Structure 1
């Protein structure tokens, strides 16, 4: 729910509550005032009739039986309400009644004066209708005013959101936000601009560090591998020393692969590939990676079953497309069993790779995390599927990992 809608709900709720309370108080006040006025009129008529009877020595003539009764059933002095049925209107009419005694030539009589409250009720109805019309007009005006204010007052906030949605850390220029005369939005823009400047500075520092680290560490690793490879090929090297050198050589190669994988992950997460994407024929990448893995598949007696590959073009960085397909296929071959199955399916909607492998007792989606491996003793760094997951996230793809116990089939599916 939007902030303005929630605010309007509270405003309207409070206004409705105040309207109900105000209407009740006004109704009660008006009713009391009109009843008091009727009582004063009855008291004035009582004084008038009492003085007239004293002056004339005769009872007044009854012209309206509903308004004056002489010697009626009431024999007590009182001021009260009553209901009288109107034979003309065929409805019950409320009256205010006062009864009082008078003396004519020493003979006591009881007079009852009545005054209709129908006019009072009509006045109250008119007032309530007027109030209802005024409150309806007020509520409607408030809604229209709030809608107009939401477009005008909140326009700078919406422009700020639009600028934030379009901002990218890779762009050289800093985030520019429009000026606004509203202090709160101006402070928000300043805080957001300062925050993006700090984030951009941290991003540039991290990018520079990643590039420098990748460059400075790759060269010593390459020298180590070259020197160790020469030592391994030296025929005069003692057997005991050769075994130690081979262990160091394998460790150096593993460290090199780990360095390359972590560097690639860092570049993907920092979006350092920018907008270098172009249409890449994914079917050609799959065929090329299968050809490169041919020797490994022959060593494991794996005969790949590749469905006819339709031409599928995706806008990607070529290196990331090769890394995605290569990591998925390498995972399917490396963790396959001797003489196992390998199925590759490619459509315009997805790339699906299914292979036989070791039994899995955990959630297969956990293997998409970093340093997660089927076999903890494996010399693999456990970053292949994590790299594939990051590439899919980078381009908005979806990578899923499913395991079927029947046949011990592992299926990796990339949905474009």
Structure 2
């Protein structure tokens, strides 16, 4: 729910309550004032009749029987409301009446003065209608004005929100927000700008540290691996049966560390957008080159590779990333394949699909692309292959998805690159 909607609900609730209370108070106030006026008129008529009686003049009945009634029989004294029929309109008309006792010509008389409330009710309806219309107009005007002012005053906030939504830290630039006239929004923009500046500074420091660490560890790892290879060839190891296995394990650990170093370095370079140089590449030609490189591994595991090229797309991307993309996808299909299985590679103008047979894998498929995610904890692979594939896809706007067909027990990785087709 938007803030404007939430605040308008409270305003509507408050105004509705005040509107109802004000309408009720207005109705009863006007009604009481008009009845008080009618009662005063009846009192004035009573005083006039009492003066006539004191002057000795007889009480003469008015031709309007419903306004002046004389009775020799006792009646209830005081003010009261009554309803009398109107023979002309054939309706019942509300009246206000005043009954009092007079001593006229030595005889007690009970006089009842009446006044119709039709005019009073009509006046009350007109006044109340006008007031309610004014209140409704004021109510609607306040709502429209509040909506218009809120949209105008909050415009700068939505601009800041849009700038945050489209902000990319990898552009290595802090946010450049304007300074609005509203103090709160100006303070918000200033705080967000300072925050983005600190983020860029920290990101640059981390990127520089990662690059330096990768560069500084690359040479020692290469030296260790080369020296271990030479040490494994020393003839003296044949005399010590316990040393050779230990050196072999150490050499294997060094190779895994070297692969991990290379994979993390590649991920860091992708995230830092260090592959700006691009060129048109024929994906089918790159695939043929990678298949030739992996042919010994395919033969060693007895795997058959089937290629189906409907339309070889020409992708505009870095050659190293294209090579890494296909290498990791093919190597993943080889590593998680069944003995004597097959690999199917399907290339079309819209996507690249690589599938292989294998049992179902438990877990959330979306987590297969996480770093260091392994299907088997004891596997020698660092678990970065699919993460690299996803990072390359995100770098060029490709959509990388995983699917499993239970009917054929086949795993499929699909890279949809239509948005980035050259």
TM-score when normalising by structure 2:
0.89
Q: Give 1:209's aligned residue.
A: 209
**What does the per-residue CA deviation read over 1:284-340, in whole Å, with 9 as the maximum and x for residues that have no partner?**
433332232222112122111222241224454443333232211111012212210
CA drift at 1:380: 1.2
User: What secondary structure does 1:238 align onto?
Assistant: helix
CA drift at 1:414: 2.9
1:131 aligns with 2:131: yes
1:176 aligns with 2:182: no
Change over 3 Å in CA distance of 1:163–1:391 after alignment to 2? same
Q: Give 2:76's aligned residue.
A: 76
RMSD: 2.6
CA drift at 1:275: 5.5
1:312 aligns with 2:313: yes
Mean Cα deviation higher: 227-236 or 329-338: 227-236
Q: Counterparts of 2:284 and 2:147 in 1: how far apart (Å)?
A: 54
Contact 1:335 1:358 in 2 (8 A): no
Contact 1:400 1:413 in 2 (8 A): yes
1:17 aligns with 2:11: no
Change over 3 Å in CA distance of 1:42–1:321 after alignment to 2? farther
Contact 2:82 2:97 in 1 (8 A): yes
Contact 1:359 1:405 in 2 (8 A): yes
Contact 2:172 2:204 in 1 (8 A): no
**Structure-to-structure mapping, 1:225-374, within 5 angstroms:** 225-235=225-235, 237-238=237-238, 240=241, 241-268=243-270, 270-273=271-274, 280-358=281-359, 360-374=361-375
TM-score when normalising by structure 1:
0.90
**What does the per-residue CA deviation read over 1:144-198, in whole Å, with 9 as the maximum and x for residues that have no partner?**
4234423542233233334434543344553222122221011111111110111
User: What secondary structure does 1:307 align onto?
Assistant: strand
Q: Counterparts of 2:397 and 2:84 in 1: how far apart (Å)?
A: 82
The alignment of Structure 1 onto Structure 2 pairs a total of residues equal to 415
**Structure-to-structure mapping, 1:92-241, within 5 angstroms:** 92-171=92-171, 173-235=173-235, 237-238=237-238, 240=241, 241=243
Mean Cα deviation higher: 127-136 or 110-119: 127-136
Contact 2:342 2:356 in 1 (8 A): yes
Change over 3 Å in CA distance of 1:74–1:187 after alignment to 2? farther
Contact 1:273 1:317 in 2 (8 A): no
Q: Counterparts of 1:84 and 1:227 in 2: how far apart (Å)?
A: 122
Q: Counterparts of 1:309 and 1:295 in 2: how far apart (Å)?
A: 26
**What does the per-residue CA deviation read over 1:54-74, in whole Å, with 9 as the maximum and x for residues that have no partner?**
323411231211211121887
Contact 1:74 1:99 in 2 (8 A): no
Contact 1:283 1:309 in 2 (8 A): no
Contact 2:84 2:94 in 1 (8 A): yes
